[in-house]
Amino acid sequence: MTTIGIIDIGTNTILCLKGIIHDGKFDIVFDRRYHYRAGKRFDDVENISLEYKTNLRLALLTAVSSINDCDKIKIVATEIFRRPKDGCMYAEQLSAELGYPIEIIDNQREAELSFKGAISGFGNLSGKIGVIDIGGGSTEIAVGENQKLLSWSGLKIGAVAIREAVGYDCPLDSYLTYAVDTFRHSNFVDILNPSPDKMVIVGGTAVAVAGLTIGLREFEPERLQGWEIDVLSLKHLLEKLAAMDIDNRKKLMAFEPERADIIISGGAIILAFMRFAAIDTLKVSTRGLRYGLLEEIGRQFNA
Protein backbone atom coordinates (compact mmCIF):
# COMPACT_ATOMS: atom_id res chain seq x y z
CA MET A 1 0.00 0.00 0.00
CA THR A 2 1.38 3.40 -1.05
CA THR A 3 0.04 6.82 -0.04
CA ILE A 4 0.36 9.71 -2.49
CA GLY A 5 -0.21 13.41 -1.85
CA ILE A 6 -0.84 15.82 -4.72
CA ILE A 7 -0.98 19.62 -4.53
CA ASP A 8 -2.08 21.80 -7.44
CA ILE A 9 -1.38 25.51 -6.89
CA GLY A 10 -3.84 27.53 -8.94
CA THR A 11 -4.47 31.24 -9.28
CA ASN A 12 -7.46 31.20 -6.95
CA THR A 13 -7.25 27.97 -4.99
CA ILE A 14 -4.84 25.30 -3.81
CA LEU A 15 -6.20 21.81 -4.43
CA CYS A 16 -4.91 19.01 -2.22
CA LEU A 17 -5.53 15.33 -2.95
CA LYS A 18 -4.50 12.31 -0.88
CA GLY A 19 -4.84 8.83 -2.28
CA ILE A 20 -3.90 5.25 -1.50
CA ILE A 21 -2.73 2.75 -4.09
CA HIS A 22 -3.15 -0.92 -3.33
CA ASP A 23 -3.58 -3.94 -5.58
CA GLY A 24 -3.36 -1.64 -8.59
CA LYS A 25 -6.41 0.40 -7.51
CA PHE A 26 -6.88 3.94 -6.17
CA ASP A 27 -8.76 4.96 -3.06
CA ILE A 28 -9.23 8.67 -2.32
CA VAL A 29 -8.61 9.62 1.32
CA PHE A 30 -9.58 13.27 0.83
CA ASP A 31 -9.84 15.99 -1.80
CA ARG A 32 -9.59 19.46 -0.25
CA ARG A 33 -9.69 23.06 -1.44
CA TYR A 34 -7.87 25.98 0.13
CA HIS A 35 -8.97 29.39 -1.14
CA TYR A 36 -6.25 31.99 -0.73
CA ARG A 37 -6.85 34.71 -3.35
CA ALA A 38 -7.02 38.23 -1.96
CA GLY A 39 -6.41 41.63 -3.49
CA LYS A 40 -4.55 42.16 -6.75
CA ARG A 41 -2.47 39.35 -8.19
CA PHE A 42 0.44 41.51 -9.35
CA ASP A 43 2.25 44.59 -8.10
CA ASP A 44 3.27 47.54 -10.27
CA VAL A 45 6.28 45.72 -11.78
CA GLU A 46 4.39 42.48 -12.57
CA ASN A 47 5.71 40.54 -9.59
CA ILE A 48 3.32 38.58 -7.37
CA SER A 49 1.82 41.02 -4.89
CA LEU A 50 2.80 40.74 -1.22
CA GLU A 51 -0.81 40.05 -0.20
CA TYR A 52 -1.07 37.21 -2.70
CA LYS A 53 2.26 35.74 -1.58
CA THR A 54 1.28 35.87 2.09
CA ASN A 55 -2.07 34.15 1.59
CA LEU A 56 -0.67 31.60 -0.86
CA ARG A 57 2.15 30.63 1.53
CA LEU A 58 -0.18 30.13 4.50
CA ALA A 59 -2.62 28.03 2.47
CA LEU A 60 0.22 25.98 1.01
CA LEU A 61 1.73 25.28 4.44
CA THR A 62 -1.67 24.04 5.64
CA ALA A 63 -2.09 21.84 2.57
CA VAL A 64 1.38 20.31 2.90
CA SER A 65 0.85 19.58 6.61
CA SER A 66 -2.17 17.45 5.69
CA ILE A 67 -0.14 15.13 3.42
CA ASN A 68 3.22 15.08 5.23
CA ASP A 69 2.77 11.40 6.07
CA CYS A 70 2.49 10.34 2.42
CA ASP A 71 5.05 8.06 0.79
CA LYS A 72 5.17 10.30 -2.28
CA ILE A 73 4.37 14.02 -2.48
CA LYS A 74 4.10 15.98 -5.72
CA ILE A 75 3.48 19.74 -5.90
CA VAL A 76 2.79 21.51 -9.18
CA ALA A 77 1.92 25.10 -10.06
CA THR A 78 0.42 26.63 -13.19
CA GLU A 79 -0.29 30.20 -14.31
CA ILE A 80 0.15 31.66 -10.81
CA PHE A 81 3.93 31.15 -11.21
CA ARG A 82 4.18 31.05 -15.01
CA ARG A 83 3.20 34.65 -15.68
CA PRO A 84 4.78 36.91 -13.00
CA LYS A 85 8.39 37.99 -13.33
CA ASP A 86 9.31 36.56 -9.93
CA GLY A 87 7.24 33.38 -10.26
CA CYS A 88 10.18 30.99 -10.58
CA MET A 89 12.12 32.68 -7.80
CA TYR A 90 9.20 32.60 -5.38
CA ALA A 91 8.51 28.95 -6.21
CA GLU A 92 12.15 28.17 -5.33
CA GLN A 93 11.81 30.03 -2.02
CA LEU A 94 8.67 28.11 -1.11
CA SER A 95 10.27 24.82 -2.17
CA ALA A 96 13.21 25.45 0.19
CA GLU A 97 10.86 26.25 3.07
CA LEU A 98 8.58 23.27 2.47
CA GLY A 99 11.29 20.71 1.77
CA TYR A 100 9.46 19.61 -1.38
CA PRO A 101 10.13 20.89 -4.91
CA ILE A 102 7.41 22.87 -6.68
CA GLU A 103 7.28 22.09 -10.39
CA ILE A 104 5.95 24.87 -12.63
CA ILE A 105 4.30 23.06 -15.51
CA ASP A 106 3.64 24.57 -18.93
CA ASN A 107 0.26 24.84 -20.69
CA GLN A 108 0.73 21.62 -22.65
CA ARG A 109 1.48 19.60 -19.54
CA GLU A 110 -1.45 21.23 -17.77
CA ALA A 111 -3.79 20.35 -20.65
CA GLU A 112 -2.52 16.76 -20.71
CA LEU A 113 -2.97 16.19 -16.97
CA SER A 114 -6.37 17.93 -16.91
CA PHE A 115 -7.52 15.68 -19.75
CA LYS A 116 -6.36 12.52 -17.99
CA GLY A 117 -7.89 13.57 -14.69
CA ALA A 118 -11.21 14.73 -16.15
CA ILE A 119 -11.94 11.52 -18.03
CA SER A 120 -10.78 9.31 -15.13
CA GLY A 121 -14.05 9.99 -13.36
CA PHE A 122 -16.16 8.53 -16.16
CA GLY A 123 -16.15 4.89 -17.09
CA ASN A 124 -18.54 5.14 -20.02
CA LEU A 125 -17.02 7.82 -22.26
CA SER A 126 -16.14 6.59 -25.73
CA GLY A 127 -15.07 8.16 -29.00
CA LYS A 128 -13.30 11.50 -29.26
CA ILE A 129 -13.47 13.48 -26.01
CA GLY A 130 -12.80 17.18 -25.54
CA VAL A 131 -11.88 18.68 -22.17
CA ILE A 132 -11.85 22.39 -21.40
CA ASP A 133 -10.22 23.51 -18.17
CA ILE A 134 -11.19 27.06 -17.19
CA GLY A 135 -9.03 28.15 -14.29
CA GLY A 136 -8.29 31.43 -12.60
CA GLY A 137 -5.41 32.53 -14.79
CA SER A 138 -5.64 30.45 -17.95
CA THR A 139 -7.84 28.16 -20.02
CA GLU A 140 -6.67 24.95 -21.67
CA ILE A 141 -8.48 22.77 -24.16
CA ALA A 142 -7.52 19.19 -24.98
CA VAL A 143 -8.95 16.58 -27.32
CA GLY A 144 -8.15 12.89 -27.11
CA GLU A 145 -9.36 9.40 -27.81
CA ASN A 146 -8.90 6.12 -25.93
CA GLN A 147 -7.31 8.08 -23.05
CA LYS A 148 -4.62 9.44 -25.38
CA LEU A 149 -4.15 13.18 -25.93
CA LEU A 150 -4.35 14.13 -29.62
CA SER A 151 -4.26 17.95 -29.60
CA TRP A 152 -4.33 20.85 -27.16
CA SER A 153 -4.15 24.62 -26.87
CA GLY A 154 -4.06 27.24 -24.12
CA LEU A 155 -5.08 30.84 -23.58
CA LYS A 156 -4.29 33.42 -20.90
CA ILE A 157 -7.91 33.91 -19.96
CA GLY A 158 -9.47 32.79 -16.69
CA ALA A 159 -11.98 33.82 -14.04
CA VAL A 160 -9.40 36.04 -12.31
CA ALA A 161 -7.41 37.11 -15.38
CA ILE A 162 -10.45 38.37 -17.29
CA ARG A 163 -11.36 40.70 -14.41
CA GLU A 164 -7.83 42.08 -14.45
CA ALA A 165 -8.14 42.71 -18.21
CA VAL A 166 -11.71 44.04 -18.40
CA GLY A 167 -12.41 45.40 -14.92
CA TYR A 168 -13.31 44.12 -11.50
CA ASP A 169 -17.03 44.89 -11.45
CA CYS A 170 -18.09 45.04 -15.08
CA PRO A 171 -21.43 44.05 -16.63
CA LEU A 172 -21.83 40.46 -17.78
CA ASP A 173 -21.87 41.55 -21.44
CA SER A 174 -18.42 43.13 -21.10
CA TYR A 175 -16.89 39.84 -19.95
CA LEU A 176 -18.79 37.94 -22.64
CA THR A 177 -17.56 40.25 -25.40
CA TYR A 178 -13.96 39.97 -24.25
CA ALA A 179 -14.13 36.18 -23.92
CA VAL A 180 -15.78 35.61 -27.29
CA ASP A 181 -13.21 37.87 -28.96
CA THR A 182 -10.39 35.94 -27.25
CA PHE A 183 -11.74 32.61 -28.50
CA ARG A 184 -12.21 33.97 -32.03
CA HIS A 185 -8.55 34.97 -32.18
CA SER A 186 -7.37 31.59 -30.88
CA ASN A 187 -6.81 28.27 -32.62
CA PHE A 188 -9.55 26.58 -30.58
CA VAL A 189 -11.68 26.19 -33.70
CA ASP A 190 -8.95 24.02 -35.24
CA ILE A 191 -8.65 21.90 -32.10
CA LEU A 192 -12.41 21.28 -32.16
CA ASN A 193 -12.54 20.28 -35.84
CA PRO A 194 -13.94 17.68 -36.23
CA SER A 195 -16.18 18.14 -33.22
CA PRO A 196 -15.57 15.81 -30.25
CA ASP A 197 -18.29 13.28 -29.44
CA LYS A 198 -18.49 14.67 -25.90
CA MET A 199 -17.21 17.83 -24.20
CA VAL A 200 -16.18 17.74 -20.53
CA ILE A 201 -15.45 20.81 -18.41
CA VAL A 202 -13.26 21.03 -15.31
CA GLY A 203 -12.31 23.87 -13.00
CA GLY A 204 -13.73 25.72 -10.02
CA THR A 205 -16.12 27.87 -12.03
CA ALA A 206 -17.74 24.85 -13.68
CA VAL A 207 -18.17 23.11 -10.32
CA ALA A 208 -19.64 26.29 -8.81
CA VAL A 209 -22.10 26.71 -11.70
CA ALA A 210 -23.22 23.09 -11.32
CA GLY A 211 -23.57 23.52 -7.55
CA LEU A 212 -25.66 26.65 -7.98
CA THR A 213 -27.89 24.97 -10.55
CA ILE A 214 -28.45 21.94 -8.31
CA GLY A 215 -28.91 24.17 -5.27
CA LEU A 216 -26.17 22.66 -3.08
CA ARG A 217 -25.43 24.14 0.33
CA GLU A 218 -22.17 22.22 0.69
CA PHE A 219 -19.64 20.59 -1.62
CA GLU A 220 -20.95 17.18 -2.77
CA PRO A 221 -18.69 15.85 -5.55
CA GLU A 222 -20.79 12.73 -6.10
CA ARG A 223 -23.76 14.92 -7.10
CA LEU A 224 -21.66 17.33 -9.15
CA GLN A 225 -19.77 14.71 -11.14
CA GLY A 226 -21.38 14.27 -14.54
CA TRP A 227 -23.83 17.18 -14.16
CA GLU A 228 -24.54 18.78 -17.52
CA ILE A 229 -24.42 22.55 -17.92
CA ASP A 230 -26.76 23.66 -20.69
CA VAL A 231 -26.28 26.96 -22.43
CA LEU A 232 -29.73 28.45 -21.75
CA SER A 233 -29.72 27.60 -18.04
CA LEU A 234 -26.23 29.05 -17.72
CA LYS A 235 -27.29 32.30 -19.38
CA HIS A 236 -30.26 32.66 -17.03
CA LEU A 237 -28.12 31.84 -13.97
CA LEU A 238 -25.50 34.45 -14.87
CA GLU A 239 -28.15 37.11 -15.46
CA LYS A 240 -29.64 36.29 -12.05
CA LEU A 241 -26.23 36.50 -10.34
CA ALA A 242 -25.37 39.74 -12.13
CA ALA A 243 -28.52 41.35 -10.68
CA MET A 244 -27.41 40.54 -7.11
CA ASP A 245 -24.98 42.35 -4.87
CA ILE A 246 -21.91 40.46 -3.63
CA ASP A 247 -23.43 39.66 -0.20
CA ASN A 248 -26.49 37.97 -1.67
CA ARG A 249 -24.30 36.12 -4.14
CA LYS A 250 -22.25 34.76 -1.24
CA LYS A 251 -25.39 33.58 0.54
CA LEU A 252 -26.52 31.77 -2.60
CA MET A 253 -23.07 30.18 -2.99
CA ALA A 254 -23.04 28.77 0.54
CA PHE A 255 -20.76 25.86 -0.40
CA GLU A 256 -18.12 28.17 -1.94
CA PRO A 257 -18.73 31.85 -1.05
CA GLU A 258 -15.07 32.74 -1.74
CA ARG A 259 -15.81 32.45 -5.45
CA ALA A 260 -18.76 34.89 -5.41
CA ASP A 261 -16.76 37.80 -6.85
CA ILE A 262 -15.45 35.82 -9.85
CA ILE A 263 -18.44 33.59 -10.64
CA ILE A 264 -19.84 36.03 -13.22
CA SER A 265 -16.51 36.54 -15.00
CA GLY A 266 -15.75 32.81 -14.94
CA GLY A 267 -19.26 31.89 -15.99
CA ALA A 268 -19.02 34.35 -18.86
CA ILE A 269 -15.99 32.44 -20.19
CA ILE A 270 -17.97 29.19 -20.12
CA LEU A 271 -20.94 30.79 -21.89
CA ALA A 272 -18.69 32.46 -24.46
CA PHE A 273 -16.98 29.15 -25.19
CA MET A 274 -20.29 27.33 -25.62
CA ARG A 275 -21.51 29.99 -28.05
CA PHE A 276 -18.20 30.06 -29.90
CA ALA A 277 -18.07 26.27 -30.25
CA ALA A 278 -21.84 25.93 -30.85
CA ILE A 279 -22.11 23.49 -27.92
CA ASP A 280 -25.42 23.07 -26.09
CA THR A 281 -24.14 21.10 -23.08
CA LEU A 282 -20.92 20.52 -21.16
CA LYS A 283 -20.44 17.56 -18.79
CA VAL A 284 -18.89 18.60 -15.47
CA SER A 285 -15.98 16.70 -13.96
CA THR A 286 -14.95 17.46 -10.38
CA ARG A 287 -11.60 15.91 -11.19
CA GLY A 288 -8.76 17.52 -13.09
CA LEU A 289 -5.02 17.97 -13.09
CA ARG A 290 -4.46 16.48 -9.62
CA TYR A 291 -6.26 13.27 -10.56
CA GLY A 292 -4.23 13.04 -13.74
CA LEU A 293 -1.06 13.26 -11.65
CA LEU A 294 -2.33 10.70 -9.15
CA GLU A 295 -3.04 8.24 -11.94
CA GLU A 296 0.34 8.88 -13.54
CA ILE A 297 2.31 8.42 -10.32
CA GLY A 298 0.25 5.37 -9.42
CA ARG A 299 1.18 3.68 -12.67
CA GLN A 300 4.86 4.29 -11.91
CA PHE A 301 4.49 2.54 -8.54
CA ASN A 302 2.61 -0.35 -10.14
CA ALA A 303 5.08 -0.77 -13.00
Share of the chain above pLDDT 90, in %: 85
CATH number at residue 166: 3.30.420.150
In this structure, the answer to whether residues 82 and 174 fall within a common structural domain is: no
pLDDT score of 108 more than 70: yes
User: DSSP alpha helices (H): ranges in the chain?
Assistant: 50-65, 79-82, 87-98, 107-120, 161-166, 172-184, 188-191, 204-214, 221-224, 231-242, 246-252, 263-277, 289-302
How many angstroms separate the CA atoms of 111 and 70, rounded?
26
In this structure, the answer to whether residues 51 and 167 fall within a common structural domain is: no
Question: How confident is the model over 168-181, as pLDDT tens digits?
Answer: 989 999 999 999 99
Structural domain of 237: 108-284
In this structure, the answer to whether residues 150 and 29 fall within a common structural domain is: no
0.85 exceeded by pTM? yes
| Structural Rg of the chain based on CA atoms | 18
Of the residues 76, 105, 134, the one at which a domain ends:
105
45-82 core/surface letters (b: 16 or more CB in 10 A; e: else):
eebbbeebbebbbebbeebbebbeebebbbbbbbbbbb
Of the residues 56, 89, 105, the one at which a domain ends:
105
Residue 299 lies in a domain: no
In this structure, the answer to whether residues 83 and 120 fall within a common structural domain is: no
Question: How confident is the model over 130-139, as pLDDT tens digits?
Answer: 999 999 999 9
In this structure, the answer to whether residues 8 and 153 fall within a common structural domain is: no
In this structure, the answer to whether residues 130 and 154 fall within a common structural domain is: yes
Residue 232 lies in a domain: yes
pLDDT score of 212 more than 80: yes
pLDDT band at 302 (very low <50, low <70, confident <90, very high): low
pLDDT band at 147 (very low <50, low <70, confident <90, very high): confident
In this structure, the answer to whether residues 73 and 196 fall within a common structural domain is: no
Domain count, the chain: 2
Of the residues 73, 105, 137, the one at which a domain ends:
105
In this structure, the answer to whether residues 79 and 126 fall within a common structural domain is: no
CATH number at residue 41: 3.30.420.40
The whole-number pLDDT of residue 167 equals 94
Q: What is the mean pLDDT of residues 104-126?
A: 90
